A and B are shown apart, each in its own frame.
Chain A
Amino acid sequence: MLCAMTAPRPIDPRGPRVNQGVLTVALLAGFVLDWWPVVPAFAVVLFLGAAFGPRYGPVLRLYAEVIRPRLPPPTELEDPRPPRFAATVGVLFLGAATVAFLAGAAAVGWALALVVAALAGLAATTGICVGCEIYLFVARRRGVELAA
């Protein structure tokens, strides 16, 4: 019943939530101001964290170095893979939105970006991370051992 030795080190779940909150605010601000470069910019921000780990994600790093030291220790930790998967899905959506903007289909671009903003906002405000749940559902079906 103990976790596999290869399971990654659990993380403070508040880091991804701050990341999701900043992403939501940025995308919604960009949408209101009709300033689409915010979409590829945050695709890169998400990509860095998802591909190379929290140390390389600007918002995750900001949380780890500036915000977390001012907070009490987390009451629980979580496996880093579900939020990483959710971020990867976000990168794909924001990447597709960027392509849509470049192709002149701004409505499609904003629709895709707003899907990401809505899901990230839901995760930031309630803790319900749809991408993480998809990862967990697939992982359990495939018998992947998660970090306990």
Chain B
Amino acid sequence: MALLALNWRVWLVIALLFLFGLARRLYKQWRQRVAADRGPVPPLPARLRNGKGHTWVVFSTPLCATCGPLADELAAADPDGHVVRVDATRETELSRAYRIRSAPTVLLADSRGRVRERFVGAGAVREHLATLAGRSASG
């Protein structure tokens, strides 16, 4: 009897572990699909644009710890650029239009508002800035 009782408990736990594995796999696939979701996006709205030069748009969320410092880093590293911080949880239309899935996501747009680059995560932006710094130092 005790063995039987143990058996159904073990089976229940195995089922639960299977569900965890399934959930993890589905969630991972969904995230990969979202990450792969690339394509043309509309030009930046005029209110965000810097007519004279390029614009960095930093999409952040209230929970994003790295977004604020990243925007400051961008402003310091690229004084010619215009840096705008957008709260993705409030600007939902804008976030949907630019397919923002995580924060920070940074768009780099030219003076006409065309999105030229897209960086997901602070690391990607810093890498880009380091590359630019390396180029200007060697040039």
Contacts and interface: CB of A to CB of B under 8 A. Distances in A.
Interface residues of B, number: 30
A121 interface: yes
A27 to B, nearest CB: 10
Interface residues of A, number: 30
B65 interface: yes
A122 B65 contact: no
A140 B85 CA distance: 19
Chain B residues touching A, majority SS: helix
A124 B66 CA distance: 23
A75 interface: yes
Contacts of A124: 20
B123 interface: yes
Interface of A: 1-3, 10, 28, 31-32, 34, 75-79, 82, 114, 117-118, 121-122, 124-128, 136, 140, 145-148
Given A76-B66, A76-B121, A121-B20, 7 more contacts: A31-B12, A32-B10, A76-B65, A78-B65, A121-B16, A122-B20, A136-B63
